[in-house]
Structure 1
Amino acid sequence: MDGNVIVGQSGGPTSVINSSLAGVYKTAIDRGAKKVYGMLHGIKGLLDGQYVDLSEKINSTMDIDLLKRTPSSYLGSCRYKLPEISEDRETFDKIFKILDDLDIKYFFYIGGNDSMDTIKKLSDYAIVTGSDIKFMGVPKTIDNDLAVTDHTPGFGSAAKFIAATMKEIIRDGLVYDYPTVTIVEIMGRNAGWLTAAAALAKSDDCEGVDLIYLPEKVFDIDHFMARVKEIAAKGRSMVIAVSEGIKVADGRYVFELSEHVEFVDAFGHKQLAGSAKFLANKIGAELGIKTRAIELSTLQRCAAHMTSRTDITEAYNVGGAAVKAAFEGETGKVVVLKRVSDDPYMCITETNDVHQIANIEKKVPLEWITDDDFVTDDLIHYIRPLIQAELSPIMVDGLPRHLNINA
């Protein structure tokens, strides 16, 4: 084949993002790529001239197997927003000069919503300048908020970790003979898919969480306090799942109701944390009930010991599908998953125009959120196939073995 390949990772890490990287690398090599470069720290690192020849780092099928099982972004990541083409052509000229110097003909970017914005701008600039480089997006985000695709790689494993962890928290909370309230804060800025996964904890061996609050609906603190008081009056402990991005009627995040230090990233996103703590403190002060606030925080992103085999397999497949599509001439596209069957569960890969995906958030449909502070069976049935089966880590000396680019 003509030319080389480059691949990068961007945005928040997941437990299966490197499986997509492995899919890109292995498929590109199998299809005759001369070199497969890896951007270090995404497009920002590339602008700084940071990249590696992956064939010097991945030396065997065992390395590929380890890479698939290694959590977080092997190549490093970034949260860097490319400027608008009309405002800063110099940045794009610099990127394309680097790509031309490396004889790059195929560019792959593994990431979520903001990363697809990068693919959109680069593919648009290639059209404007007549470049023949193919640009393909490979979906990734635990938030599951990419448009068009049925779901995103990374979500299933995070959902599996959340559901399993909630079962353990519930067992812990029910050991006492007096009521306690445990509030678990789960990632999700504007989309509540991850928090909804807490509903999967309910089963024949588990009572399940009592209340679930997603950012798709306005959070009513007075209603919340009334529900807590109602359940506590029954004399039992409760576990509540809340999205970090829940907002009150005036648009403020719940965590903003208490004193906090505000941090905003390059895409204008506020760093979210503290909603569970605020609510736990309010319950303790006003209702006199023992409370505990738990933030799953980054634990839910890279729990590779709890990886869904379905998820890691699909992550590998979308990486391979992106290479296949690009080598066949497609560009400005994103690989998406299309569910063709629920029983048995089956998804296939397709490609879709990046302009229909970049900067568009897919939220939990309101009809999947109940009026009694929970989610519907339809939402549970949507998530459940994505958490199925396991892929155990390769253990060395009692601990998971990972592939480290700096080792």
Structure 2
Amino acid sequence: MKGNVIVGQSGGPTAAINSSLAGVYCTARERGAKKVYGMLHGIQGLMEGKYVDLSDFIRSDLDVELLRRTPAAFLGSCRYKLPEIHENQEVYEKIFDILEELDIECFIYIGGNDSMDTIKKLYDYSMVTGRGHTNFLGVPKTIDNDLALTDHTPGYGSAAKYIGTSVKEIIRDGHSLRYEHGLVTIVEIMGRNAGWLTGAAALAKGEDCEGPDLIYLPELVFDVDKFVAKVRKLLEKKYSVVVAVSEGIKTADGKYVCELGSNVDFVDAFGHKQLTGTANYLASLIAGEIGCKTRAVELSTLQRAASHSASRVDILEASQVGGAAVKAGDEGDSGKMVVMLRLSDDPYQCTTEVKDVHKIANDERLVPREWVNKEGTYVTDEFITYVRPLIQGDVSPVMVDGIPRHLYRPID
């Protein structure tokens, strides 16, 4: 590698995103990169001239291991949508000026759907204008697991492991106390359009746990009346009911369930509504309709920040895809994203390839209909077979005074 590498992180962070950053850094140094720069807060920070030399923070093998075990985006993230090339070429000129000034041979962006849109646009601009010698590569990252063409995305396995563990603990808690009219706990799990995370609640089921009673994914229409009737019937047989719901479940008219209780006004740069309150609405509805005690549990950012519950498979694969992106860029690939290719479930084997980012950006991979039961109230064994290998193994935190130690970067 003759030039330098720059890497950024974008979108919602995960427990494994920094393992990908570590993979990029280590592989770039092994391949002879003179400098490995990190964008502060993604492409948005880069346009403001905010970047760091990663060697200022990663000084030893211990720092690399700490980074792999550090949740959230070490470099800082953003949700910035690049304009279309014909709308504002000045933005692209500014970015390419910086890349040329830093002698960037390989530009790597770690993120999800919207981040791959950034890679696509930067690559297209380089092709249209013939400007620069930078190769643009995407590294998959999203707990939502909804990127096209890849078997799964780093970050998902750790989130799924946390969700399965947490739902199991919630179920145990529900069995502790008996209430006169029963207890219904609604667990709200992230997932706007794809139910990969919510389906992971089924991992709680085993010889020592019956698992959640109902699971509702956003891929299927949610019928409020049928839901109430189903819960009522369950309470006739048991005193504690646990339901896992996606934040993005919708009624037949396309309205988010969380909007039934309040208005959802905030929209981000990519046009996504902020979803929250689904569990609260359903818990209040059940309490009013049935008269039982209810609880609403929103896992929220805990799903993506629980590095203490990270999957070893996930952390290793996150580092693997980061390194694969550097290798691909060094060998001349551009406008590509690294994807995971599953070779077998038992024993679990997976490798990497690169695919055209144009076939990935702004697309969503949903849970197959055949992986949800006929009623739409639970996932099938095929779903469990798919997800279980991704949650295997543990990553022991580096503990200091009884608390996990992370790699620290001063807040900018």
- Deviation sequence 1:42-98 (CA, Å, 0-9, x none): 000000110001111111111001000000000000000000011111100110001
User: What are the within-5 Å matches in structure 2 for residues 270-309 of structure 1?
Assistant: 270-309=273-312
Distance in structure 2 (CA, Å) of the matches to 1:196 and 1:150: 16
- Cα deviation for residue 152 of structure 1 reads 0.1
Matched residue type, 1:325? A
Q: How does 1:195-344 map to 2 (within 5 A)?
A: 195-344=198-347
1:402 and 2:403 aligned: no
Gaps of 5+ in 1: none
Separation in 1, partners of 2:280, 2:263: 12
**Mapped contact 2:187–2:245 kept (Cα < 8 A):** yes
Match of 2:395 in 1: 391
Partner-residue secondary structure (3-state), 1:12: coil
Equivalent residue, structure 2, for 1:375:
379
Instruction: Please give the alpha-carbon distance, in whole angstroms, between the structure 2 residues aligned to 1:274 and 1:262.
Output: 13
Q: Give the whole-Å Cα distance in 2 for the aligned partners of 1:235 and 1:37.
A: 57
SS at match of 1:18: helix
1:101 aligns with 2:101: yes
Q: Distance in 2 between matches of 1:260 and 1:190?
A: 19
**Does the 8 Å contact 2:264/2:273 carry over to 1?**
no
Q: Secondary structure at the match of 1:241?
A: strand
C-alpha separation in 2, matches of 1:359 and 1:261: 23
Given that 2:3 and 2:104 are in contact with CA atoms closer than 8 Å, whether structure 1 keeps it comes out as yes
- Within-5 A mapping of 1:59-78: 59-78=59-78
What's the secondary structure of 1:297's corresponding residue? coil
Q: Deviations over 1:201-260 (max 9, x none)?
A: 000000110000000000000110110010011142110000000000111100100123
Q: Distance in 1 between matches of 2:392 and 2:47?
A: 39
Which runs of at least 4 in structure 1 moved beyond 6 Å after TM superposition? none
TM-score by length of 1: 0.99
For the residue of structure 1 that corresponds to 2:170, the secondary structure is helix
Pick closer, same or farther for the CA change 1:25–1:227 going to 2, 3 Å.
same
Match of 2:167 in 1: 166
1:340-391 C-alpha deviation (Å, 9 max, x unpaired)? 0111001000000000100000000111111231110000110000000001
Counterpart-to-counterpart distance in 2, 1:167 and 1:104: 47
The answer (yes or no) to whether the contact 2:264–2:275 under 8 Å persists in 1 is no
**Paired letter, 1:256:** E
Aligned residues: 407
**SS of aligned partner of 2:407:** coil
Q: Determine the C-alpha separation between the residues in 2 that align with 1:371 and 1:298.
A: 31
Q: 1:155-209: per-residue Cα shift (whole Å, max 9, x none)?
A: 0000000000001000000122342000000000000000000001000000110
Partner of 1:140: 141
Secondary structure of the corresponding residue to residue 209 of structure 1: coil
Distance in 2, Cα, partners of 1:72 & 1:262? 26
**How many Å separate the matches in 1 of 2:72 and 2:267?**
22
Alignment-mate amino acid for residue 78 of structure 2: C
Q: Following the alignment from structure 2 to structure 1, what is the Cα–Cα distance between the partners of residues 268 and 14? A: 19
Q: Are the aligned partners of 2:4 and 2:36 in contact in 1 as well (CA < 8 Å)?
A: yes
Q: Give, as a single letter, the amino acid of the residue that structure 1 aligns with 2:146.
A: D
Preserved CA contact (<8 Å) 2:106 2:136: yes
Structure 2 gaps, min length 5? none
SS of the residue corresponding to residue 365 of structure 2 reads coil
CA distance in 2 between partners of 1:263 and 1:393 (Å) = 36
Partners of 2:280 and 2:374 lie apart in 1 by: 24
User: What is the TM-score with the length of structure 2 in the denominator?
Assistant: 0.98
Instruction: Measure, in 1, the Cα distance between the counterparts of 2:102 and 2:378.
Output: 52
Q: Which amino acid aligns with 2:98?
A: I
Match of 1:39 in 2: 39
The Cα of 1:261 is off from its aligned counterpart by 4.9
1:166 partner letter: V
Q: 1:129-159 deviations in whole A, cap 9, x for unaligned?
A: 2132100000000000000000000000000
Greater shift after overlay, 62-71 or 258-267?
A: 258-267
CA distance in 2, matches of 1:82, 1:259: 31
* SS at structure 2 position matched to 1:301: helix
Identity %: 67
The amino acid that maps onto 1:311 is D
